[in-house]
Amino acid sequence: MSKFNLQELMADTPLDGNPQRLAIAISELRLLEDKIDLSPEAYQRFFLADDKWQSMFMASFFNPEVIIPEVALRLGAMIPKVGILAEVMDGCQRVSTIFRFMNNEVALPNVDELAEVQAPGEDFTHDIRKKLYKELPLSVRDAFLAYQIQAQMYYNLTPQKAGWYFVNVLNNTNTLNAQEKRQAVSSAMSRTVQQWARFNPLGIFETVDGNKLKWIAKAEHKRLDVDKTLAEIVFMCSEESFKTKGTTGKVINDFYDTQASMSQDKFSNAVHIEKVLKFVGESMKNHATAKSKIALKPFRNYCYMVSSMMKAKRKIDPIEFMEVYIQAIYNLKNVPVPKGLTGTPYELRMRGSGAEDTNVALELLWKEMSLITFSSIQLDSKRTFTREEVLDAYTKQDGICAICGMEMGEFGEHIHGDHVLLYKDGNSTTPDNCDAVHASCNVRK
């Protein structure tokens, strides 16, 4: 195992030799903290390790009988982020915990092993129980900074290859579920899906406690439910092959792999799917009982049906369409259960993810909805956005007009709020339905 200067290596990485096992002093990690990407969107689970785990992990550095597992770093020019020179492919929890400890955000635990810690060259001990990093004796801190983390180093990997290494090499003893594998596949589409799921720019994935979703029944982030459902929505709204392939984990993974190899830097269907999700958000938030009735899979099907209506340029009211959808599900669930079966035809089909099950479930929904009478569109009583709502949209768009794509200059009266989903089609005047645009663009629209 060789010791080296990480900063020099990051500045001049070799072109081959994957992987190399080397040693990194914690002091080197500390100096380059702002140059190391911990990849929370791509590789790390939705929830970080809790404070108790992090505290106990840091105690391991002061116990000579404990060996810290090695991490994996990706170095080189193929990392598609400006200013980031290294990426932690495996060991994000460990590296992020080290940084948190050194930033005094987590303290050492109150355990007997830390009552008598001896620094190299000293003949006396220190009690470092419950101490923050800044409270450690200088000699103990120096010993910690000199601790060497063992690391696998990968050089100049493409994003797709980095994902492959993560899934097939780095986690070969830690089985990943389907959505965790998709997290590791880097493409414009996968990055967008993770952004939508994790940081909730669309509003529909708002939580009540950081885990359970507010608007979708029995849904939570803990098992990456949102990532999984969004992956299926993107697939179903992007192409019709699900009608012959179904929506199994393998089918979705193949779709993501194809996107990674063919469309690394472009997600051509993003605008359409974003409009679909905003429309669905309008449906869920403004319907009195939708959030207590629509679970993730019916939510996914509803998104696909909205997408189909939009592609056919059919005008639909979000509140009314949801009302009819809920009524259709109720009707399909409340028919006599055929003898020998454990549910109605609709319920049985919804349990599967094969092509036939998916197609029949959607056909049953379309047919039942066609039998329910639609009323006229009801318009929101609020017609215009507040200046605060327009300013918020302007800030999120970095001052770029949503219609012409040009810079709008300093915020002022020449900047208007425009409905993403048209007001005349029954869509509400809420912040998540607001685009900031040039007044002139809004008038010409």
DSSP string, 219-266: -BTTTTHHHHHHHHHHHHHH-STHHHH-S-HHHHHHHHHHHHHH-TT-
Distance from the Cα of residue 278 to its chain's centroid: 17
pTM of the model: 0.66
pLDDT class of 244 with cuts at 50, 70, 90? very high
Instruction: Return the beta strands (E) in 43-118 as ranges.
Output: 71-75, 86-90
> For residue range 152-194, what is the model confidence (pLDDT) as tens digits?
888 877 777 777 777 777 765 566 677 777 777 778 888 888 8
Token couple for 365: 């929904």
pLDDT class of 437 with cuts at 50, 70, 90? very high
**3 state SS of 206:** coil
pLDDT at 394 over 50: yes
Cα 157 from Cα 162, distance rounded (Å): 6
Token couple for 214: 């507010």
Predicted confidence at residue 39, as pLDDT, reads 58
Predicted confidence at residue 2, as pLDDT, reads 40
130, 107 contact by CB (below 8 A) = yes
pLDDT at 414 over 60: yes
Nearest to 64 by CA among 147, 132, 3: 147
pLDDT at 84 over 70: no
Instruction: Return the beta strands (E) in 61-105 as ranges.
Output: 71-75, 86-90
Predicted confidence at residue 77, as pLDDT, reads 57
| Cα dihedral sign, 197-198-204-206 | positive
Residue range 216-245: mean pLDDT, rounded: 89
pLDDT at 98 over 70: yes
More confident call, 139 vs 441: 139
Predicted confidence at residue 5, as pLDDT, reads 59
Nearest to 228 by CA among 297, 276, 160: 297
pLDDT at 42 over 50: no
**3 state SS of 118:** coil
Token couple for 167: 């899934």
Predicted confidence at residue 178, as pLDDT, reads 74
Instruction: Return the exposure string of 123-141: e unless at least 16 CB atoms fall within 10 Å of the residue's CB, then b.
Output: eeebebbebebeebeebbb
Cα 313 from Cα 161, distance rounded (Å): 40
Helix, strand, coil shares of the chain, percent, nearest 5, are 50, 10, 40
Residue range 134-147: mean pLDDT, rounded: 96
Predicted confidence at residue 174, as pLDDT, reads 61
Predicted confidence at residue 277, as pLDDT, reads 95
Please name the amino acid found at residue 25: A
